[in-house]
A and B are shown apart, each in its own frame.
Chain A
């Protein structure tokens, strides 16, 4: 979804196949096989997706039947008593991902603009490489780094400081454990930076040079040219890049589980521990013994899928509403 929109920005419009040069039966047969193969791939992917949804619904049916709509709006999660509500997990997934984007988007766009517009060409490859390397680090390594470096730093320095300066806001109240929603958001932000940065950089590089030249020629400063001619031109692609990062953040499991505190509660403070949908699945699935318990966990998986689809759908609407580059960025 995200990839498609990023591709759309770069290639602009008017891309079409050249007229058929090869003729004869051999080529016609080849084309038919090609069409069938490509079509079969599409159907296979669609069938897999449909099968996944069907299996999730089937397996979670007992929980859906028992709790109904209540599952979505209650915060009780008590495996012993057999009471399950998904609200704290939905909340935790959304808040940690949004927090991650809040930190990562300015950082990534800044880095991408630097790499595409300002950096001398010899410095681009090593920096791009280093940023992309961040994507290759396994998430459990991020988690360990989170526990042993980030969390103590947050607990001893950042949270007491924030508490002193901004403690009047409910966001920054409560005891500084280090572990909690803030730590999860920060770990996630580091994990999504390489995705957003490298895709955004490609988008910016694909913006035609004539855009910049025109803006500069009209007397724009470098920043104005970037803002008006480059960012505006590539915005639907840039939103796609951010979506890719969001998708990564929504589904990330291991690193988040290690630093979020795993407490199914909705708290106003970012210092408080939370829980995400992916984390509760990873944590509790293996030892879930009762059928209703397993079924409730599968329903969480279904909800994670739904949340991902809804969030992506909303973002898609956003992309449509800002319009693509083909229409000159005007609606």
Chain B
């Protein structure tokens, strides 16, 4: 490189380097994890600028598995997951991790039949369809639940998610609770070994296959089903009522007593109005924060998210937390510390 071109490059580079960057004098909080709550989290991060203009969030929706790995390795300030961490995973973390529930989501059964009648299912029938025991739409057990619908003599084409997903976790977690055979043969996880069916990538992949293939039955996220006006089956809950999947019936699923660490499955919830295939999604934070300033900002944000922040989920078709759960989470947030001192004692 000649002297002159070196000078030219320096003239170009130096002013750029000395310009104040957008993150200057601001606190950047890094997070990573679940894709399912990404829309509501980005809405929150945007709204939170109005509350505290000093804090910026950088959230990468790389999936729950990645979120758990990154928070365990402390490469991010908070993680996010659609499924609670297992005991084994918690043991691998270098310090105690808290699960902070933020919103709820639900999973619905969607289908493609002539005229798309409103169908009702019970958990055991769904489990047997997904196990490959019920193979035809006009099976006596489906008919018994839907006496008025005209069900064709057609094979049921089961469609499931092919990508690892929190949606799958919620769905199979429900089937596990209803069907001992499912629990023993298939189990729960973000990807499982499906006894029957075709795999579609993402909600859009499942919905695309269901829309296209007459006689198919699949499961998608509630928000996706509502925005795309897909038929969604009512599912019989523990109390014996057939519940339509809605924001309200999803929130109702959290109306039960919470364990102290919030690592709880909300499927097959006992509430009389609860939709049975629902779940929390969680933020993962360390109980003892490694950095005082960041820790302070994080607990303030969490506090805001479970209070003022709860007015945003419904517009994005997530279900807000019920009031008793918010009380429980308040107590949890107050336990977050920096070198033993609570970060949010004053609230």
Contacts and interface: CB of A to CB of B under 8 A. Distances in A.
A179 B63 CA distance: 26
Interface string B48-71: 000000000000001111101100
B212 A284 contact: no
Contact of A258 (B62, B189, B197, B201): B201
Interface in A278-306: 279, 282-289, 294
A253 to B, nearest CB: 10
Contact of A177 (B35, B65, B157, B186): B157
Interface stretch (B158-166, B252-260, B310-318): B158-166
A282 B163 contact: yes
B198 A263 contact: yes
B193 interface: yes
Interface in B208-264: 208-209, 212-213
Contacts of A148: 208, 212
B186 A80 contact: yes
A3 B208 CA distance: 38
Chain B contact residues: helix, strand, loop or mixed: loop
Nearest to A151: B212
B188 interface: yes
Contacts of A275: 199
Given A283-B164, A287-B165, A288-B164, A79 B189 contact: yes
Interface string A72-99: 0000111111000000000000000000
A287 B162 contact: no
Nearest to B212: A152
A261 interface: yes
Contact of B65 (A273, A279, A286): A286
Chain A contact residues: helix, strand, loop or mixed: loop
Interface size class of B (residues with CB under 8 A): 35 or more
A221 B166 CA distance: 65
B323 interface: no
Given A151-B212, A282-B163, A287 B190 contact: yes
A291 to B, nearest CB: 9
A1 B155 CA distance: 48
Contact of B193 (A78, A286, A294): A78
Contacts of A294: 65
Nearest to A152: B212
Contacts of B155: 175
Nearest to B214: A155
A250 B166 CA distance: 29
Given A151-B212, A155-B213, A261 B163 contact: no
A56 to B, nearest CB: 18
Contacts of A284: 163-164, 191
Contacts of B162: 257, 262, 279, 283
B199 A273 contact: yes
B198 A283 contact: no
Q: Which of A148, A179, A294 has the most CB of B within 10 A?
A: A179
Nearest to A83: B193
A289 B209 contact: no
A81 B188 CA distance: 10
Contacts of A285: 164
Contacts of A283: 162-164, 191, 199, 201
Contact of A179 (B165, B190, B192, B209): B209
Contacts of B271: none
A122 B163 CA distance: 48
B80 to A, nearest CB: 12
B272 interface: no
Interface in B170-218: 186-194, 197-201, 205, 208-209, 212-213
A280 to B, nearest CB: 9
A191 to B, nearest CB: 17
A273 B198 contact: yes
Contacts of A178: 212-213
Interface string A256-282: 011001111000000001010001001
A275 B194 CA distance: 13
B166 to A, nearest CB: 7
A107 interface: no
B163 A286 contact: yes
A147 interface: yes
A272 to B, nearest CB: 10
Contacts of B68: 289
B199 A262 contact: yes
Contacts of B194: 263
Contacts of A80: 186-189, 192-193
B42 interface: no
B198 A262 contact: yes
A127 B186 CA distance: 52
Contacts of B189: 79-80
Nearest to A289: B65
B89 interface: yes
Interface string A177-193: 11100000000000000
Contact of A287 (B65, B188, B197): B65
Given A179-B198, A283-B162, A289 B89 contact: yes
Interface in B78-103: 83, 86, 89
Nearest to A273: B198
Nearest to A155: B213
B136 to A, nearest CB: 12
Contacts of B69: 289
Contacts of A262: 162, 198-201
Nearest to B201: A257
A257 B157 CA distance: 18
A171 B187 CA distance: 33
13 contacts: A79-B164, A79-B189, A79-B190, A79-B191, A147-B209, A177-B198, A262-B201, A263-B194, A263-B199, A273-B198, A284-B163, A286-B63, A289-B83
Per CB-CB distance, the 8 closest pairs between chain A and chain B, nearest first, are: A287-B164, A262-B199, A286-B63, A262-B162, A80-B187, A287-B190, A78-B193, A283-B163
Given A263-B199, A275-B199, 16 more contacts: A77-B193, A78-B192, A80-B188, A80-B192, A147-B205, A175-B155, A179-B209, A273-B199, A283-B162, A283-B191, A286-B63, A286-B66, A287-B163, A287-B164, A287-B165, A287-B191
